[in-house]
């Protein structure tokens, strides 16, 4: 089985979706911002 991951990482929120080949959403998650220009870079 093939799994696909899509991530939208923005300045205010991050949205991730895991789906199968048929487009069925298996998992979905939300978190805070992930834009390094806003939250800074880690050394």
Residue 22 covered by a domain: yes
What is the pLDDT, as a whole number, of residue 37? 81
pLDDT at 43 over 70: no
pLDDT digits (tens, 9 = 90+) for 7-42: 999 889 999 999 999 999 999 999 998 888 887 777
Residue 39 covered by a domain: no
In angstroms, the CA 35 to CA 29 distance is 17
What is the pLDDT, as a whole number, of residue 39? 79
Find out whether 16 and 28 touch, Cβ atoms under 8 Å. yes
Find out whether 15 and 5 touch, Cβ atoms under 8 Å. no
Domain of 3 in residue numbering reads as 1-30
What is the pLDDT, as a whole number, of residue 15? 97
What is the pLDDT, as a whole number, of residue 26? 98
Residue 37 covered by a domain: no
Residue 5 covered by a domain: yes
Q: How many domains does the chain have?
A: 1
Cα 6 from chain centroid (whole Å)? 6
What is the pLDDT, as a whole number, of residue 34? 86
Find out whether 15 and 32 touch, Cβ atoms under 8 Å. no
Residue 23 covered by a domain: yes
pLDDT at 1 over 60: yes
Two structure tokens written together for 6: 């899509």
């Amino acid at each position: 089985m093939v799994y696909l991951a899509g991530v939208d990482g923005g300045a205010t929120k991050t949205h991730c979706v895991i789906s199968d080949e048929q487009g069925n959403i298996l998992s979905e998650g939300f978190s805070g911002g992930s834009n390094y220009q806003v939250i800074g870079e880690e050394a």
